[in-house]
Amino acid sequence: MLRKLFSRCMFETRQNLKMPCEVNTRFVILYGSQKGQAQSIAEGIAVEAEDHGLVAELSCLNQSEKYNLEKEKAPVVFIVSTTGDGEPPDNALQFVKGIKKKTLSTDHYKHLCYALLALGDTNYANFCNCGKTIERRLQALGAKQFYVTGYADDGVGLEVVVDPWLEGLWKAIKGAFASYSASDEGTTLSDARPASPVLASQSHDTASVSTAASDTHKDGGAPHVPLAASLTCSLPPLSQSSLNVPALPPPYLHVSLQDVDSREQTVGHLNNENVHEVPIERAIQLTTGDLVKTSLLLELDTSAYPTMTYLPGDSFDVFCPNRATEVEDMLCRLGLQDKKHHQVHVSLNKDTKKKGAQVPSYIPPSISLLYLLTWCLEIRTVPKKAFLRALVEHTGDTVQRRRLQELCSKQGATEYNQYVRDPGLSILEVLTAFPSCSPPLCLLIEHLPKLQPRPYSAASSCLKHPGKLHFVFNVVEFSACSGRPVGRRGLCTGWLFDLINPGKPKCSGSHALPKIHVSLRPKCSFRLPSDLSVPFVMVGPGTGVAPFIGFLQQREKERQDNPEAVFGETWLFFGCRYRDRDYLFREELEGFVTSGVLDHLKVSFSRDELEMEGNEVTTSVARPRYVQHNLLLHRQQITEILLKKNGCLYVCGDAKNMAKDVNDTLIEIIKTQLQVDQLEAMKTLAGLREEKRYLQDIWG
Ligand code: FAD
């Protein structure tokens, strides 16, 4: 998502750092990137190197033919992200595998000096794990760090760490070159302390955009000062401040439209052998009434694709298009409504100096403009500051220009977060708020990321529902805000909602519902214990219960097939707002208890006022409102399952709040039950995670 931000996140004017020795100008940048963010940062460094009189050699970690760390003497800068449950990005897998080899000696990389920027998200387990793994191994193999490692958190905004880290990098590289020179004179690099990121001492030259919006009011009278700041208006001091805005790199793509009717072109990425078009067989709304999110269960008929067998715990991707109305609005803004069926040709600008510039791989050849905007580009994307910066150049009105400059400036960082990032404003919403802005198509292609499919967890077991795949989702609602006069639904969930139209009768006949494109996601470690006797605890409030329905359906079948076997006890902690509105799968869950498949069902209702019957909770303690409260109430049994009976604990659902609260509660439980301090408790939990006995499948 931030792909384009960082490649442009260089400030307008910079002082070139003078190198101590003319020959020391070469350094290496290696990146491992899943969604393009790390790649984009790496590319940005490569471009900026020239401003500093340096020569950067940029490679992806999987392009091992392009670099040779075994012999590399120049500083090496690693930019690596982490994906999934702490895994390396696909294009760093081989490198990480290689560097972990036990046969490598402890001085294997003693000639190497490196800096590392790790990208991650604290909402997920194993924050920055790939970066940490590479760093651990580099150090174990004798490499020397020349600059402190940056750990950037997408949960709060990568730029919080990335920007200062990038600022300090140049001084650190200069220091590394100096150490090399000194080491020639007898000092070794290991004597050189890693430079810390320099925040205050790096000066940004102020770009010449200091004219305040309030001063440029066209009536020429007293400056107009708005009463309240909003997306389009600022107040002093920002409106009167000088601004540091990101530099504007020249466009690197060339886009042309050809008058060839491409209406009949077959769909590009949907034409992949792993993507299947399957009918929605049933759609059921699981919630009723107000004050709860709308949850829907869809049953897909996958029987035409026998290879689509899945195990409980698996998730799969749903491919959704951008909304037709938004695509039309975008075409209007681009002034290209009458060319929507023209073929789009995207190529690299011949004279581009952008390092590693490529035509985005997710834009297939010979597609129409309509297809491009419908299936390839995420037109709902929240524009990054670099995108806003680029929009300035295509905005006619001076007040609007100034406001866009503010929003992408250092000084306007808080307002950018408040008015753009936090409300999740789309580029179309920004364009609507700034009507004098008319960006060209190539700018959109350069800045909009790939339209990603949305993953969903299977909420069924193939054993119980052969040829069927169930999933359950909440319809995401974005409320109205400054810049969004009317609320809207999430892209995929809003699309699915419209497709099945739950206003109509709940279950439709076999052919009444449309087909959707789906593909199973590879690599899954969220699995039931293979040993039937292992006890396990499941924590899944709201739609987080989805994979556990699959687990329990599978367990039900296993019990029928193995009547003699010993089964470990099972616990499910579920939570919702109201017992009678959003208690998902209530009948099925209670049925599992009756049949003995589920030994303990603990449900918490965050908004119901009365103590719930059948919740097995004593009234002497405060009513458990959230899953973690119920976990605390049953701490003894949980400790026993996890620490004495070698059991497992699964958590699924909201990454932002619930998973963190559950994690903290588990630490608390371990602390009190084992009478150990916080650090020891954290280590115990980390150990469980390592042993794959504490597993998370979380999203946010
Ligand atoms: P989008 O248009 O993509 O918008 C959602 C984004 O906007 C999110 O980043 C969210 O943080 C943000 N957002 C949401 N509301 C607001 C708001 N009011 N203001 C500002 N920002 C907001 N979801 C399920 O419901 N069920 C599942 O079983 C499930 N399984 C998943 C499994 C995995 C492995 C993963 C990674 C995700 C899973 N998800 C699941 C999440 C799902 O993939 C989608 O992200 C979700 O359905 C929203 O998609 P959307 O296109 O409708 O929303």
Cβ < 6 A, ligand 1 pocket: 315, 380, 423-424, 454-457, 471-474, 476, 478-479, 490-494, 543, 546, 699-700
Report the alpha-carbon distance of residue 669 to residue 665 in Å, rounded.
6
Please state, in angstroms and rounded to a whole number, the distance separating the CA atoms of residues 555 and 564. Answer: 14
What's the rounded mean pLDDT across residues 134-141?
92
Residue 502's alpha-carbon distances to 192, 474, 497, 517, in angstroms, are 65, 13, 7, 20
Instruction: Give the span between the Cα atoms of 661 and 667, in whole angstroms.
Output: 10
H/E run at residue 405: helix 398-408
Separation of CA 124 and ligand 1 centre (Å): 14
Ligand 1 pocket test: pick from 296, 452, 477, 493 the residue with the most ligand atoms within 8 Å of its Cβ: 493
Average pLDDT over residues 239-243: 91
Asked if residue 638 lies in contact with residue 669, where contact means CB atoms within 8 angstroms, the answer is yes
Tell me how far apart the alpha carbons of residues 328 and 209 are, in angstroms, rounded to a whole number.
Answer: 34
Task: Please give the distance of CA 674 from its chain centroid, rounded to a whole number.
Answer: 36
Examine residue 237 and say whether the peptide bond preceding it is cis (omega within 30 degrees of 0): yes
Question: For residue 524, how far is its CA from the centre of ligand 1 (angstroms)?
Answer: 19
Are the C-beta atoms of residues 565 and 530 closer than 8 Å to each other?
A: no
pLDDT at 504: 61
Among 154, 294, 299, 473, the mutation site with the greatest number of ligand 1 atoms within 8 A of its Cβ is: 473
Which tokens is 349 given? Answer: 């600008």
Weakest-pLDDT range from 70-84, 181-195, 245-259, 293-307: 181-195
Q: From atom 27 of ligand 1, which residue's Cα is the shortest distance away?
A: 456
| Distance (Å, whole) CA 570 – CA 564 | 17
User: Which tokens sit at 322?
Assistant: 């951008």
**Can you give the pLDDT at residue 506?**
47
For range 267-272, the mean pLDDT: 70
CB 82 within 8 A of CB 32: no
Residue 550 near residue 585 (C-beta atoms within 8 A): no
Q: 585: pLDDT confidence band, cut at 50, 70 and 90? A: very high
If you average pLDDT over each of 138-152, 470-484, 529-543, which comes out highest?
529-543
Nearest-angstrom CA–CA distance, 108 and 105: 5
Three-state SS at 432:
helix
The pTM for the full model equals: 0.74
Predicted confidence band at 51 (pLDDT cuts at 50, 70, 90)?
confident
The one-letter amino acid at 593: V
**Residue 671, token pair as written in the block:** 């602390």
> What pLDDT is recorded for position 356?
78
Ligand 1 atom closest to residue 454's alpha carbon, by position in its atom list:
43
Q: What is the pLDDT of residue 610?
A: 54
CA angle 142–147–151, rounded 5-degree value = 100
Give the chain's length: 700
Gap between the Cα atoms of 631 and 626, Å rounded? 9
pLDDT tens-place string over residues 389-403: 999 999 999 999 999
pLDDT tens column, 186-199: 333 333 344 443 22
* 618 pLDDT above the threshold of 60: no
CB atoms closer than 10 angstroms to residue 531: 9
Range picked from 12-21, 118-127, 138-147, 253-262 for highest mean pLDDT: 138-147
Confidence of residue 384 (pLDDT cuts 50, 70, 90): very high
For the chain, the average pLDDT equals 85
- Residue 261 banded pLDDT, cuts 50, 70, 90: low
pLDDT tens by residue, 414-449: 999 999 999 999 999 999 999 999 999 999 999 999
Residue 166's Cα: distance from chain center in Å? 21
User: If you measure from the C-alpha of residue 454 to the centroid of ligand 1, how many angstroms do you get, rounded to a whole number?
Assistant: 8
Q: Which atom of ligand 1 is nearest to the CA of 423?
A: 20
Task: Tell me the one-letter amino acid at 325.
Answer: T
User: Smallest Cα–Cα separation from 33: which of 118, 113, 126?
Assistant: 118
Using alpha carbons, select from 109, 80, 77 the residue that is nearest to residue 92: 80
460 in Cβ contact with 424 (< 8 Å): no
**Helical packing angle, 398-408 and 385-392, nearest 10°:** 160
User: Regarding predicted confidence, which is higher, 240 or 616?
Assistant: 240
| pLDDT tens digits, one per residue of 640-670 | 999 999 999 999 999 888 999 999 999 999 9
Beta bridge partners of residue 255, listed in sequence order? 346
What percentage of the chain carries pLDDT values higher than 70? 85
- Positions of E strands within 380-522: 454-457, 468-474, 477-478, 488-489, 515-520
pLDDT reported for residue 212: 41
Cβ neighbours of 522 (radius 10 Å): 7
Dist CA 162 CA 171 (whole Å): 15
- Model confidence pLDDT, tens digit, residues 167-188: 889 989 988 887 765 554 433 3
Q: Concatenated DSSP letters for 460-483?
A: S-TTTSTTEEEEEEE--EEPPBTT
